[in-house]
């Protein structure tokens, strides 16, 4: 944990997420993304009911000064690219896929950003993201909790992991 973050509500929330990820068996580390400390959690799971596929789950979380729709949308794209670039192994789509929780936390959040995160899962070929927007001033977590047509087989997994990692502080 970056010690300077512990003092703020967003920093305390990131420490909570790091504990939740570690308790669930995720490998975690902190990275510097253009001067911003970013928590990266990663795990891979294989299930026969997923048509014998392995899902690589990335959780990438950062505290930012303000969250707007363009900010969370750009971060979601950045996390998707990061996950594809660092996954390793077989190419995406060859009996494996990527799931990601791009998480931003701030005490200044545009309600439209929360609505954007809650509206739907974002999907690109064999890659699914469920953006998470956390308003630390209101203790509100916004993320999509539905079961979309594409990627439906993974929906309960995303809902369970999202509930475990982001709620309950």
Q: Note the pLDDT tens digit of each residue in 67-98.
A: 999 999 999 999 999 998 887 655 555 467 78
* pLDDT exceeds 90 at position 107: yes
- Tell me the mean pLDDT in the region 28-50: 85
Distance between CA atoms of residues 120 and 115, nearest Å? 9
Supply the pLDDT for residue 1: 40
**Domain residue limits at 103:** 3-166
Mean pLDDT on 157-162: 89
Mean pLDDT of 137-144: 93
Pairing state of beta strands 27-33 and 36-47? antiparallel
Could you identify the residue written with the tokens 């974002």?
122
119 has pLDDT over 90: yes
Domains: count for the chain: 1
Encode burial over 21-31: b for 16+ CB neighbours within 10 A, e otherwise.
Answer: beeeebebeee
Q: What is the pLDDT of residues 45-74, one digit of tens each?
A: 755 555 556 688 999 999 999 999 999 999
Give the residue, 96 or 24, on which the prediction is more confident: 24
Is 149:12 a contact under the CB 8 Å cutoff?
Answer: no
- For tokens 């509206």, name the residue: 119
Cα separation, 52 vs 34, in Å, equals 37
For every residue of the chain, DSSP letters joined together read: --GGGTTSHHHHHHHHHHHHHHHTT-EEEEEEETTEEEEEEEEEEEEGGGTSEEEEEEEEEEE-S-B-HHHHHHHHHHHHHHHHHH--SSPTTSSEEEEEEEEEEES-B-HHHHHHHHH--EEETTEEE--EEEETTTTEEEE--S--STTGGGHHHHHHHHHHHHS--
């Amino acid at each position: 944990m970056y010690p300077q973050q512990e003092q703020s509500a967003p920093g305390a929330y990131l420490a909570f997420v790091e504990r939740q990820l570690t308790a669930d068996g995720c490998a975690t580390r902190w990275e510097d993304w253009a001067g911003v400390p970013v928590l990266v959690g990663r795990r891979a799971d294989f299930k026969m009911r997923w048509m014998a596929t392995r899902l690589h789950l990335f959780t990438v979380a950062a505290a930012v000064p303000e969250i707007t729709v363009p900010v969370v949308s750009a971060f979601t794209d950045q996390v998707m690219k990061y996950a594809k670039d660092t996954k390793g192994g077989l190419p995406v789509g060859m009996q494996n896929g990527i799931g990601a929780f791009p998480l931003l936390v701030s005490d200044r959040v545009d309600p439209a950003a929360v609505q954007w995160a809650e509206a739907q899962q974002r999907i690109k070929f064999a890659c699914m993201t469920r953006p998470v927007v956390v308003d630390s001033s209101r203790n509100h977590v916004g993320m999509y909790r539905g079961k979309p047509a594409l990627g439906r087989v993974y929906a309960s997994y995303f809902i369970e992991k999202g509930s475990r990692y982001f709620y309950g502080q």
